[in-house]
Copies of this chain bind each other. A is one copy, B any other.
């Protein structure tokens, strides 16, 4: 038995377990307990479920503490194996289905719902998502200005302010065709909006970043260069922010936000349709 009495937490699903993990983690963060977590995806059949049950029970035997189990499994015979374990089991979807049943006045008709699944009915949408990723890669970092009018959003900013990860996340998570265009040091003497972007003004979105954070990021890649100097970072950020303001380009400081947050804010501000995959 461990001295710190860490509580074991399982995130189990017949799919990717991404939702069980994210939600379970949000729930656990509300309690001041030390945890040791296991994510077990693709628990799709009785055999695998029995192995998981044995793992849960073994931890209970060793620690004397019931493992906490957040799960989502559609097949009743697989789900039942998990429910028969010694864990404290919570079905993350059913917890919300029960109250809804009353409100809707109808019984649930459980379907094999694969949250992150690929089926004949969503194949076209999936292809559009992959096409968005292709487009975004082809228009990363100003690689190609051709077909820029097909972009749904064009991110502008200095090198290493987060344009590429944000573009890719927009494409990956939301199926948005996101191009990005970098302003480089040579542009800074007389920073102007490139002529190719002027007719696309309504698609432009700026990213900025605190010069201190920018310098730290650049130092990681190119230590002791002008590129990574505080002076240069301050200059570039100042120029680019002035450009955003003078052209009334909406912009966001990425310093304290993750790609998820930046991407979601961009959709919100630009009024872009949010597709779910």
A interface vs B, CB < 8 Å? 7, 15-19, 21-27, 29-33, 39, 41-42, 66, 68, 70, 72, 88, 90, 92-93, 95-97, 99-101, 103-104, 106, 108-111, 113-118, 126-127, 130, 133-134, 137, 140, 162, 164-165, 168-169, 172-173, 217, 220, 256-261, 263-265, 268, 274, 276-277
Contacts and interface: CB of A to CB of B under 8 A. Distances in A.
Given A96-B23, A115-B25, A118-B256, A264 B109 contact: no
Given A130-B165, A165-B172, A30 B108 contact: yes
B26 A118 contact: no
A106 B19 contact: no
A143 to B, nearest CB: 11
A67 to B, nearest CB: 11
Which 3 A-B pairs have CB atoms at the shortest separation, nearest pair first?
Answer: A116-B260, A30-B108, A16-B264
B276 A22 contact: yes
Nearest to A102: B88
Contacts of A97: 27, 30
Contact of A88 (B25, B39, B103, B258): B103
Given A116-B258, A130-B162, 4 more contacts: A16-B261, A16-B264, A39-B274, A42-B268
